[in-house]
Structure 1
Amino acid sequence: MKNLRLIGSFLFALVMVASAVFPADVQAMVPVSLHDFMFSADPIVCGAAGAVFTGISRKVRGVANIGGITKMVLFADTDLTTDWPLQKDITAGVLSTPPPVAAGVVGAVLTFDTNTGRAKSARKGDLGYQTVDVDGEGKFAGYEAAQIDALDKTLNSGGVAIIYYKNGDRSVYGTKLEPLTFEDASDTGAKGDDKLQLDFKFKGSGYAFHPPLLGPTVVVPLPA
């Protein structure tokens, strides 16, 4: 086998030398289907170009890294005039466009009990089929008519949530075309020092990207 490889390499070298000295004669003997391989000036690339990974470092020491969120701002999918956010508007994890809402529409602000709000995202799936799932929750003290009425407005309605972090950052969960779904629950407690509260949750799946951070200069329409 080794001898055959040596002979093959030697013959190939002879052909290449001959093609340089007598190109017309050699090309006439080589099948047309092999001309691109034998005589093309373009380099031969084996395999396809792939993604280039980037290193990931932890947040630098000596600065705060505070967890938790302070509030959410909700927009119904019907509030948005076009799909948002779009992957083309996300650069290096930052979304640069504001929510495209109809005239006069403002977001619904959900302010949670201290240290009860959170949101999560997770990429998963087989190679070539991965997507991102998201979910989040927050709790409200009380069980009052205005709270119940506000929760009822999310029944069978989808939307997008803008999450406000304790460090001032914001990120966007859900899209108009793949809106979040909302769930809620109440708990009366069993005794006087139990918590009478409402629990609000959202979830969504099938996204092409993790929730992007909203650019610091992007204006979100909020109630006056």
Structure 2
Amino acid sequence: MRTPTGGSRARLAALAALGGLLFGVAGCGGGGPEDAKPDGKASSWGRVCGGIVSSETKDYLLGRASDSAGKVDQAVYELPVGHGGDAFRDAAKDLLKGPGASRHDDVCRLWDKKGDGIIRLAFYWDLDDYSVVSKPSRDGRVQRLSKTFAVAPEAGYSTLSIDCRRPGHVEPGGYPATLHASLVMPDGDMRAQTQVFYAAARKVLPALHCTNDVTVPTALPTRDPRLK
């Protein structure tokens, strides 16, 4: 008998490793960072990934990436995902197929000028029970954000769980399904990660027609003043 959370843990570990690998090879230039050539096309922060990165999050990420002299390179490179159009629309269309039939849908992939990964975000279904995966843990590895949102934050990598119920809320085989979003953001704290999660969820959820009341929260976690 399958344990609902076992497959999820294995998948999250694999995704974390995959995200690190993909970011690691994004820039494949010569002898140093100045020679690295990131994939994708140069863009402005206000336009990347459908505008899901707020100005506050952008400023925070740039501040964390500044050098010892405080110099910040604001160049950002976006790798097209989906079918070359609206990545969020493409992802929602695929996710409507449900678990098993849908893919791991990338919606945002960003690099800096050196070829270092800034953000990789994807949505996917998994056969796990939201009431189990969203249960807060004493060590803070799982935090409940609202009735239908929970997050499992790690260093540079987090997973969002959303209780978006499909008709019947049970997939073939008798297992419930939970919508997840995985986010690789090496320089992001929980506030920055949550802001991106929420903005992305607002673009995907309306098209999924959840049968329960799923409202994206508006309040963000308080940032540790030492990290500002």
TM-score range, shorter chain: under 0.3
- TM-score by structure 2 length? 0.26
**TM-score w.r.t. length of structure 1:** 0.26
Tell me which of the two structures has the higher relative contact order, counting C-alpha pairs closer than 8 angstroms and 6 or more residues apart: 1
Question: More strand per residue: 1 or 2?
Answer: 1
Greater helix fraction, Structure 1 or Structure 2:
2
